[in-house]
Structure 1
């Protein structure tokens, strides 16, 4: 099979398209013919070596955490997933990722892809959907609570906003000033997150945009709660005046299925900015690094 492999840590030129053996599923795993995968900011951090201390890879390695495709083989003890099922999948950052023609994942890391969603749409959902929902759950938000989300028009922000609306909470999208009107259409309420507030008015917030993490925390009252998927700037949380949950998503098939369901009903939409071929992985990563608005997807 063809796979996009990272030869060494560095810039986007470190990828090569290689012929490698097709993996075989072990007990509890499924083999997927991958039709599309997404490129995330976290893939760039891995490529650059910034997280090598925490996630060491045996190079050359296959990156990619999001995928959609068709199950072509199942291992022993797999139930609920069958050969021929269209699925979306959440791959672990273990060097055996989704930027390849085939991939193996635990059966607990997949959910069925509804018939009315394309493989490209499915590939945009896993990590954004899981992270958005789990950020809300980490805050223990109740109906009626107002929650500020930085990066409200990003993939994670959109997933969080949809879930907050689903549980009858009140999302407030924190975005750049030129995107306020678009954010109001999505969330109902929005504010300019690039500016520090006059007063802290929120009990809950989700930090999903690194450049404005400091401003977001300033919006939260003393004793409030923040779920953060980005680094918290040093000196931001003086005297631990707010409780910060540093969050990295966990694989959960039930949540993944719920995300696929709301997407199939048009309640959650993750815009796709550009589709590249698998061989264009370097250009795709550069597009993400440059701040392209919307998801970048590789078509295999």
Structure 2
């Protein structure tokens, strides 16, 4: 089978021929139709993670996917061949069997969920890892109606979903976005205000929330700047590994988000998509044999998500 993979830590990812996996007990084999590009993929492609994470070369890129089940291992219940499912490869191990930029992947049945009727492959594929990260962040932030929430990185996959979830929770959302198309996009997701991340964010936010914001998602930008905009007692959820030292305050709470994906979380998110309550723009869909272009598009910055497709 074809897979987009690294053969060594100092190589660039390329299309490779690998052996097709077989599902072990408790696993399903999925023929991948689409997978989304995430920031983690850029880190893997750049060789930045190999001193921190278990790995075996070749390393296939990609962590989330949508596809059709083509085989079912022993002890799997509730899923059958032909089901269209979405999933996220669990754990952080990297290798030939732990990536989704490929034609087939075997993963635990508990890591996938059926795609609801009315949700197409592209709509389901943009949720994945970004959606779980946003969901985990919002649960930690525990947003209450009337609170003011800053979403730093509101145009990206995590930020786009978090903006919608925060607005649905009754918050006044301030999203970072450049004026024009980006700002229109973020306001269309439910943000009450936008601030230009290429300018003086601190001044712009203070003009909207003179006493500071109650909660914040740090999925882009400078952690210290965000911390300086918090009210005492507020909470910052960071998907970028921010540290207390970077925040420089002891009167606010920092929560690190690792996107602990499960089939149940994906099911919750996909039901919101099916109900018309959650939407993420697909900026581009790139075939698997041109996956390097997908990484380039994502690195340049997008409104929403970039997909790698069959």
Query: What is the TM-score when the length of structure 2 is the normalising length?
Result: 0.88
Match among 277, 280, 283 for residue 267 of structure 1: 277
Residue 134 (str. 1) matches residue 136 (str. 2): yes
CA distance in 2, matches of 1:51, 1:15: 14
Residue 59 of structure 1 and its aligned partner are, at CA, apart by: 1.3
CA distance in 1, matches of 2:6, 2:191: 42
**Contact 2:37–2:62 (CA<8 Å) still a contact in 1?**
yes
**Contact 1:214–1:232 (CA<8 Å) still a contact in 2?**
no
Match among 106, 109, 117 for residue 108 of structure 2: 106
- Which stretches in structure 1 are left out of the alignment for 5+ residues? none
**Contact 2:217–2:236 (CA<8 Å) still a contact in 1?**
yes
Secondary structure of 1:260 counterpart:
helix
**Alignment partner, residue 182 of structure 1:** 185
Match among 119, 136, 144 for residue 117 of structure 1: 119
Residue 252 of structure 1 and its aligned partner are, at CA, apart by: 2.0
**Alignment partner, residue 216 of structure 2:** 205
Secondary structure of 1:196 counterpart:
helix
**Alignment partner, residue 195 of structure 2:** 192
Secondary structure of 2:202 counterpart:
coil
Secondary structure of 1:255 counterpart:
helix
Residue 252 (str. 1) matches residue 262 (str. 2): yes
**Alignment partner, residue 74 of structure 1:** 72
Instruction: Name whichever of 176-185 and 88-97 sits farther off.
Output: 176-185
CA distance in 1, matches of 2:120, 2:218: 29
CA distance in 1, matches of 2:270, 2:229: 32
CA distance in 1, matches of 2:231, 2:162: 21
Match among 269, 272, 288 for residue 278 of structure 1: 288
Per the alignment, do residues 172 and 80 of structure 1 end up closer, same or farther by CA in structure 2, a change over 3 Å counting? farther
**Contact 2:141–2:236 (CA<8 Å) still a contact in 1?**
yes
Match among 23, 28, 31 for residue 30 of structure 1: 28
**Alignment partner, residue 300 of structure 2:** 290
Query: What is the TM-score when the length of structure 1 is the normalising length?
Result: 0.91
Could you say what the CA RMSD is over the residues aligned between the two structures, in angstroms? 2.1
Per the alignment, do residues 170 and 82 of structure 1 end up closer, same or farther by CA in structure 2, a change over 3 Å counting? farther
Per the alignment, do residues 180 and 214 of structure 1 end up closer, same or farther by CA in structure 2, a change over 3 Å counting? farther
**Contact 1:193–1:216 (CA<8 Å) still a contact in 2?**
no
Per the alignment, do residues 82 and 5 of structure 1 end up closer, same or farther by CA in structure 2, a change over 3 Å counting? same
**Contact 2:234–2:252 (CA<8 Å) still a contact in 1?**
yes
Residue 10 of structure 1 and its aligned partner are, at CA, apart by: 4.5
Post-superposition Cα deviations, 1:201-244, rounded to whole Å, max 9, x if no partner, equal 112111111x3433322221122110010143785422423211
**Contact 1:120–1:299 (CA<8 Å) still a contact in 2?**
no
In the TM superposition, 1:157-168 aligns within 5 A as: 157-168=159-170
- Which stretches in structure 2 are left out of the alignment for 5+ residues? none
